[in-house]
Structure 1
C-alpha cells in the first residue's frame, strides 16, 4: 500500500495544474466583442481580428518619463479633447491622410473633376470649388497643376465644436501651375517656374457619426 502514495500525489498535482489552466483560460481568453476598430479614411491604422481587451501600457522605448499634462489652451490640449471624443484619433495618421487628401483635391480641381471632389468637401467648400471650375470652363481655359513636392503637412489648430472635431493643417508644397486658353496660349503661370505655396485647410468630422470620413470645411492662405 505504501507504494500507492506517490501515485496519489501525482494525481493530486495533475488536478491542481488542470484547475490553474482553466482559470488562466477564463481570464486571458475573455473578449468584449468590440475588438475591431472601424476604418477611418484619415487614420489608416491597420488592425487585426481578435485583439484582446487585456491591454498593458508599455513604458516609453526611449526611457524618458511620461510628459506632463499639456497646458490648457495649447494645441496638445486641444488634440487631447479630440481624442477623448474619438479614441481612435491619432494625429500622425491623420496628418498622413490629410496630405493624401490634399494631393487628391489639388489634382481633381485642376482636372475639373467635380465628382472626385464631392465626397472630400463640405457643401460650402464644394460649391466654391465647383463654381471656379465652371467659370474656368466657360472661359475655355485649362489648368495644369504639377505637385513637385510636399515640404510639410503640419497640424496647427484643433478644436471641438460640440460633437464636431475640427483639425487645421498647414500644407507647404512646391507646385507648377499653368493656365492656358482654348488656343493653348499662356494665361497665367510659367511652365518652368516652381512656386512654394502655403495652404491652410481645416477638416471636420462629427465624432458621434458612424461615417469615418473627414471633410474639408475651410481653406485660407496665411495673412
Structure 2
C-alpha cells in the first residue's frame, strides 16, 4: 500500500509540473525560428540609433557645451594673436584654425607689413574674459560669436628697430568679437574662425 501511495504522489507531482509548464508556455510563448531574424533586425536598429545619437548630443549647445567650447576658443584666440607677431609668417601654424577668407586676410597683412620693412612684437598677457554673445545654427552649421577682452603688449618696429607704433612696455587692453563655425555632423571636432567683427 505504501508503494502505491508513493506512485500516486509522483504522478500528482508530475501532473502539477506539467500544468505549470503549460501555463508558463501559454503566458511567455515559445521559441520560434523567427526570433533569430528579429534579433538581427533589432541589432540593425540599435546600430542606427548609436550612429544618430552622437549627432543629437553634439547639436545641443547648452551651458556645459558652451564652457567646453570657450576653453578651446581661448586657446585658438591666443594662438592666432601670437602667430601674428614677429613677422616670420608663423600664421601658417594657425591655418587649421582659420577659414580660407580669414587666412588670406591675415597672410595679406603679414606680407604688406613685411614689404614695408616692419615687424611686430606681441606679448600675450592673458584673457580677462570670453563670453558667447550669440550662437546660430543653419542646417548642420553652427556659428558662435564670442566677445574677448584680453591684454597684450605690442609694438611695431621698422628695420632699424625704431618704434613706429605701440609700446614695448605698456599693457594694452583689446576688445575683439570673433565668429567661429563648425559643421556639427562632421567627425572633425575643430572649429574655424570665419569672421572678425569690427
Q: Structure 1 length normalisation: TM-score?
A: 0.60
Q: CA RMSD in A?
A: 2.5
Distance 1:99 1:87, change over 3 A: closer
Q: The residue matched to 2:109 in structure 1 has which SS?
A: helix
Instruction: Give the drift of 1:149.
Output: 2.2
Give the 3-state SS of the residue equivalent to 2:167 in structure 1.
coil
User: Which residues of structure 1 form unaligned runs of 5+?
Assistant: 1-31, 39-81
* Structure-2 residue corresponding to 1:128: 105
| 1:109 and 2:84 matched | yes
**What SS class does the counterpart of residue 170 from structure 2 fall into?**
coil
Give TM-score scaled by structure 2 length: 0.67
CA contact (8 A) 1:201 1:219 kept: yes
More helix by share: 2
Match runs of 1:59-138 below 5 Å: 85=59, 90-111=65-86, 112-138=89-115
| Cα pair distance change 1:120/1:127, threshold 3 Å | same
SS state at 2:149 partner: strand
Work out the CA distance in 2 between the residues paired with 1:83 and 1:199: 30
* Aligned CA distance change for structure 1 residues 154 and 140 (closer, same or farther; 3 Å): same
**Is residue 188 from structure 1 mapped to residue 176 from structure 2 by the alignment?**
no
Structure 2 match to 1:214: 191
- State the partner residue of 1:144: 121
Partners of 1:186 and 1:159 lie apart in 2 by: 42
Tell me which stretches of 4 or more aligned residues in structure 1 moved more than 2 Å: 32-35, 82-89
Instruction: Report SS of the residue matched to 2:84.
Output: helix
Residue 109 of structure 1: how far off its partner (Å): 1.3
Number of aligned residue pairs: give it: 146
**Equivalent position SS for 1:101:** helix
Q: Matched residues in 2 for 1:94 and 1:209: separation?
A: 16
Larger Rg: 2
Number of the residue aligned with 2:14: none
Q: Distance in 1 between matches of 2:91 and 2:146?
A: 23
